Structure 1
Amino acid sequence: METLFVVLIGAVAAVLANQNIAVFNDGLRPIVSEHIEGRLKRRELGLTAFAMSFGLVIGFGIPFTLSASIILIHSILLGTDIIGLIAPKNRWGLPAAAIVGGLYGWGLMVGLEGFVKLFDYLPVNFLEPMGQVGDPVVVTFMAFPALAVAMQFTIKKGILTFVVSALVRQLAVFVNEHEFLQIGGNAISLNQEGMALIVGMIFLFTYAIREKAEEGSSVDLASVFSEKVKSIKNNVAFFMIIGALIAGATNLLLMAGDPISLNLLADGKQADAGIAAAARAIGFIPLVASTAIATGVYSPVGFTLIFVVGLFSPNVWVAVIIGAIVIFGEVMLLSSIARFLDKYPGVRNSGENIRNAMTKILEVALLIGGANASNAIAPGFGFFFIAGFYLLNEAAGRPIVRMAVGPVGAIAVGIIANILVALGIMSIPQ
């Protein structure tokens, strides 16, 4: 059943991309819209999708998937974006996308097990140290609302948001240590990063809502893009299918929607992972809604609330049903969300700042994590390699996205360490 879920997700997501209905990569939605309106050829669209997503699959999705033995949704849906958009939009391209997308999902499941077994035979098993790649992400991610506030509003407001978030985090640590919160004699442990993240998001949206539209400047997004909203609503059945599948797969702990919840799931903290996923979903609503309304192209995971459904549902079938209902509600509410975003332009504008802030935080966290993992694999050499790799990548004009440098560098160090041990140049790290 687990394999079937992943295979179906791969097949359906590839079909949605092939039919220009939904793509996972936020940056691809406007480009797909250009193709729909006849300004971009299919071949150019496929090549653009490959260029934008392949590096993230290899350098971001797969390393996280390997480090936790849980599929990071990016590794499958960025891949199906490429598969669906490269396949021509005709009568044979559709079944080809479905078949290749399903095989790709199956390959992730089968290949994952094979990879894990393969590491046991290596002189230097670097699978466990690879887990350190994601360690800083959970802690540093709580700073992204403060960075988004600083980028959109003022640096003073960003600093205030950061300081209050940090204080709330330490207050949560203090409460946990002294077991102040109890129910029925059992101490309740607060997730300190989750509390800081929620406080930061409250600050961000409070500032955003205060930013009102100027007199006469309001534009009714729902009216302007009514045909595009209508096209998304016409495909709601497809979104319900993939929403149900992803919610079910998440409930089975097969996949996670972001590095934060993935690492928490790997540590057995399912409730904390659900809180982190909920905070992320709230932050992504302006971005997903705005791009969907403006382009007529949705995301196969919607507002990412289906991951929250999967993590908090009591069993897989409840997750499947609620997942379908939730994504149906999202699509039906797009017009209302458009009017709300129009009323509060600060909230609408925060979408891009949220995305940029998340990217910057992840770039720093993954570089630190990649350096720590590399040094655990090959002490001394690991730090040297990551520093040189990062600087040379910058000097070369950044052929590898910054976010991928840490994870890719850690994998490279693992391979190099095994080669050096095999040649007798390096001893096996203790």
Structure 2
Amino acid sequence: METLFVILIGAVAAILANQNIAVFNDGLRPIVSEHIDGSLKRRELGLTAFAMSFGLVIGFGIPFTLSASIILIHSILLGTDIIGLITPKNKWGTPIAAIIGGLYGWGLLTGLEGFVKLFEYLPVNFLEPLGEVGTPVVVTFMAFPALAVALQFSIKKGILTFAVAAIVRQLAVFVNEQGLLTIGDNVITLNQEGMALIVGMIFLFAYAMREKAEEGSSVDLASVFSEKVLRIKKNVVYFMIIGALIAGATNLLLMAGDPISLNLLAEGKQTDAGIAAAARAIGFIPLVASTAIATGVYSPVGFTLIFVVGLFAPNVWLAVIIGAVVIFAEVMLLSYIAKFLDKYPGVRNSGENIRSAMTKLLEVALLIGGANAANMIAPGFGFFFIAGFYLLNEAAGRPIVRIAVGPVGAIAVGIIVNILVLLGVMNIPQ
């Protein structure tokens, strides 16, 4: 059943991309819209999709998937974006996209098991240290609302948001240590990062909602882009299918929607992972909704609430049903969300700032995580390699996206160390 879920997700996602209905990469939606409007050829669209997504699959999705033995959704859906958009959109191209997408999903799942076994035969098994790549992400992620506030409003408001979030985090730590929260004889443990994240998001949306549209300057997104919203609604059945499949696969702990919840799942903290996924979903609603309304191209994971459903549903079949219902509700509510975003332009504009803040934070966290992992694999040499790798990549004009430098560098150190041990020029690190 697990294999079937992943194969079907790969096949359906590839079909959605092939038919220009939905793509996972946020940056691809406006480009797909250009192709729909006839201003971009299919070949150029396919090449652009490859250029935008391939590096993220190899440098971002796969390393996280390997480190936790749980599929990061980016691994599969960024790949199906490429598969669907490269194959022609015709009577034979679409079935081929579905077949390749399904095989890609199957290969990712079975290849993952093979990779784990392969590591056991290496002189230096660096799979466990590789897990350190994502460790800083969970802790540092709580800072992104403060950065988003600073980017959109002011540095002073950003500092205030960060300070309050940090205080709340430490209060949560104190409450946990003292066992102050109880239900009956059971002590309740707060997730300190989750509490800080919620406070930060409250500050962000409070500032955003105070920024109302000036009289006469409002743009009715729902009416301006009514045809595009209608196009998304016409394809709601497809979204229900893939939403159901992804919610089910998440409930089976086969995949996660982001690095934070993935690392929490790897630590066995499913409830905390659900809270982190919910916070992320709330933050992404303005971005996903505004790009969907403006382009007529949706995301195969919608607002990412289906991951929250998967993590909190009591069993896989309920997750499947609720996942389908949730994504149906999202699509049907798009027009109302458009009107809300139009009423509060600060909330609408926060979408891009949230994305920028997350990206900047992940760049820093993954670089630190990659350096720590590399140094665990090869003490001393690991820090040296990651520092040099990062600086040379910057000097070369960033051929590897910053967010991928830490994970890719850690994997490279693991490979180099194994080669040196086999050649006899390095002892197995202790």
**Alpha-carbon offset, residue 272 of structure 1:** 0.2
Distance of 2:429 and 2:309 partners within structure 1: 42
Residue number in structure 1 paired with 2:2: 2
Distance of 2:256 and 2:197 partners within structure 1: 18
Distance of 2:194 and 2:427 partners within structure 1: 41
CA-to-partner distance for each residue in 1:186-243, whole Å, 9 max, x for gaps?
Answer: 1110000000000000000000000000110011100000000000000000000000
Distance of 1:421 and 1:376 partners within structure 2: 16
Distance of 1:331 and 1:352 partners within structure 2: 21
Distance of 1:48 and 1:373 partners within structure 2: 32
Distance of 1:406 and 1:415 partners within structure 2: 14
Q: Is residue 306 of structure 2 the alignment partner of residue 306 of structure 1?
A: yes
Residue number in structure 2 paired with 1:356: 356
Residue number in structure 1 paired with 2:146: 146
Distance of 1:246 and 1:252 partners within structure 2: 10
Distance of 1:166 and 1:88 partners within structure 2: 51
Distance of 2:194 and 2:169 partners within structure 1: 8
SS in 2 for 1:265: helix
Q: Which letter maps to 2:224? A: V
Residue number in structure 1 paired with 2:280: 280
Percentage identity across aligned positions? 88
Distance of 1:257 and 1:426 partners within structure 2: 39
Residue number in structure 2 paired with 1:293: 293
Distance of 2:272 and 2:262 partners within structure 1: 10
SS in 2 for 1:134: helix
Residue number in structure 2 paired with 1:341: 341
Q: Is residue 33 of structure 2 the alignment partner of residue 33 of structure 1?
A: yes
Q: Which letter maps to 2:264? A: L
CA-to-partner distance for each residue in 1:62-105, whole Å, 9 max, x for gaps?
Answer: 00000000000000000000000000111111000000000000
Q: Is residue 110 of structure 2 the alignment partner of residue 88 of structure 1?
A: no
SS in 1 for 2:300: coil
Distance of 1:128 and 1:428 partners within structure 2: 15
Q: Is residue 135 of structure 2 the alignment partner of residue 135 of structure 1?
A: yes
Q: Which letter maps to 1:110? A: T
Matches within 5 A, 1:46-125: 46-125=46-125
Matches within 5 A, 1:319-334: 319-334=319-334
CA-to-partner distance for each residue in 1:375-408, whole Å, 9 max, x for gaps?
Answer: 0001100000000000000000000000000000
Distance of 1:65 and 1:183 partners within structure 2: 37
Distance of 1:102 and 1:390 partners within structure 2: 35
Structure 2 unmatched runs, 5+: none
Q: Which letter maps to 1:370? A: G
Quote the RMSD (CA, aligned, Å): 0.3
Q: Which letter maps to 2:193? A: E
Matches within 5 A, 1:210-249: 210-249=210-249
Structure 1 unmatched runs, 5+: none
**Alpha-carbon offset, residue 296 of structure 1:** 0.1
CA-to-partner distance for each residue in 1:219-268, whole Å, 9 max, x for gaps?
Answer: 11000000000000000000000000000000000000000000000000
SS in 2 for 1:398: coil
Write out the 4+ residue segments of structure 1 that deviate beyond 2 Å after TM superposition: none
CA-to-partner distance for each residue in 1:266-309, whole Å, 9 max, x for gaps?
Answer: 00000000000000000000000000000000000000000000
TM-score (norm 2): 1.00
Distance of 1:214 and 1:109 partners within structure 2: 51
Distance of 2:184 and 2:249 partners within structure 1: 33
Q: Is residue 397 of structure 2 the alignment partner of residue 429 of structure 1?
A: no
**Alpha-carbon offset, residue 56 of structure 1:** 0.3
Q: Which letter maps to 1:80? A: T
Matches within 5 A, 1:370-381: 370-381=370-381
CA-to-partner distance for each residue in 1:327-357, whole Å, 9 max, x for gaps?
Answer: 0000000000000000000000000000000
**Alpha-carbon offset, residue 184 of structure 1:** 1.4
Q: Is residue 209 of structure 2 the alignment partner of residue 209 of structure 1?
A: yes
TM-score (norm 1): 1.00
SS in 2 for 1:297: coil
